Amino acid sequence: MKFLGNVIATVIGIFVFIMLFFFGVIFIGVVFGGDDKVSVKSDSVIEFNLKEIKNDYAGKYKDPWVSVFSDKKGIGLTDVINAIEAAKTDDNIKGISILNDESSLGLAQYKDLRNALESFKKSGKFVWAYANTYSQKEYYLTSVANTIYINPAGDLDFKGLSSEVMFFKDFQDKSGIHMEVIRHGKYKSA
């Protein structure tokens, strides 16, 4: 009987220790966690390095274990767009400078970012852009800027955006659905 009592006491003691340790780590993270308050000096310019943005969303949710054991902070596209929206009304921010090298964002993400920059620019503030090389995506994004800079030894790879329409003649004949193409201006067709 004494053996069973010792085993139960040990199990309860281990459980209580684990719970206290778990809540202790969370308490320490809350007490010593960073403050999200940002102070902006007057006549500031926001510098965006698009190389650091990898995901659509990385901001508000933080895994407690990752935040305790790691210093990495994720920056998502929504964080950048929210920062641009906040900067529109902040009198201390005069403009945005974009460093656009080696970005892994897609064209749809660039469109959302470009729309936010257009809205920011309508507030009367400037947007500058710099890159060592511009591809079609990067040039599309930075075309909203007041001034675009490129490294003198840089490269501009711009072929133009395009789309193609596929015609499935057999499918059209079998389904009864027919394509109707509208052309504007002179157009050569087979």
Alpha helix ranges (H) inside 33-154? 64-69, 77-89, 107-121, 136-142
DSSP assignment of 129-153 equals: EEEEEE-HHHHHHHTTSSEEEEEEE
- The number of domains in the chain is 2
Same domain (yes/no): 101, 158: yes
Query: Each residue's pLDDT tens digit in the chain (190 positions)?
Result: 788 889 999 999 999 999 999 999 888 887 776 666 767 788 888 888 877 777 776 655 555 555 555 555 567 788 888 889 988 988 889 999 988 777 778 888 889 999 999 999 999 999 999 988 888 888 888 889 999 999 888 888 877 766 676 767 788 788 888 777 776 667 666 5
Same domain (yes/no): 138, 169: yes
Owning domain of residue 10: 1-33
Same domain (yes/no): 165, 111: yes
The CATH code of the domain that includes 115 is 3.90.226.10
Same domain (yes/no): 81, 148: yes
Same domain (yes/no): 55, 22: no
Same domain (yes/no): 4, 78: no
